[in-house]
Every structure is written in structure tokens, then in C-alpha cells.
Amino acid sequence: MQQLLCFAAGLNQLAKRVYDWVMKKFIAPNGREVLKAVTPSGVTVSMDTSVPLEALEAMQKKLQADLSVDEHAATGHRRPVKKPHQK
């Protein structure tokens, strides 16, 4: 019975490692759980899983607004960009 429990524990640990590898999830040196993703353009992104979803959504809106401003500056267009906090 003891051997079976040890085998099951080892199998469970192996399954978790495979899952984390497939999901590209790992523990950073500071002890935090991190997800790694690659964008369609090839940029590698690492993010702490403890960051609240609301904060990620706000950051996404800000980055989209910043990218829109950069795009208009590059093309010479002067269309104002609505900031996420404005109504």
C-alpha cells in the first residue's frame, strides 16, 4: 500500500509538471506563479498570475490608446484619442 501511495504522489507531481509546461506556467525565482505567452507578432510576455483581472484590462486599454497615439503621430493624422478614463 505504501508503494502505491508513493507511486501515486510521484505520478501526480509529474502530471503537474507536464501541465505547467504545456500551459507555460512556472514559478519565478521570487516564488510567484508566472504565465508566459507569445503574441501573434512574436513578442514574449510574462505576467504574474496574482495581478487582478481589472488591472490587466485597464493596462490593455492604456496600451491600446498609447499605440493609437503613436500610429497617428507616425501617419501625420491629428485625430484625438479618447483616454479610457474619459467619457
pLDDT digits (tens, 9 = 90+) for 4-22: 888 888 888 888 777 666 5
Three-state secondary structure of the chain: CHHHHHHHHHHHHHHHHHHHHHCCEEECCCCCEEEEEECCCCCEEEEECCCCHHHHHHHHHHHHHHHHHHHHHHHCCCCCCCCCCCC
pLDDT above 70 covers a percentage of the chain that reads 72
Does residue 53 surpass a pLDDT of 80? yes
- In tens, the pLDDT along 59-79 reads 888 888 888 776 656 565 555
Of the two residues 3 and 86, the one the predictor is more confident about is 3
Sequence-distant (≥ 6) Cβ neighbours of residue 29 within 8 angstroms: none
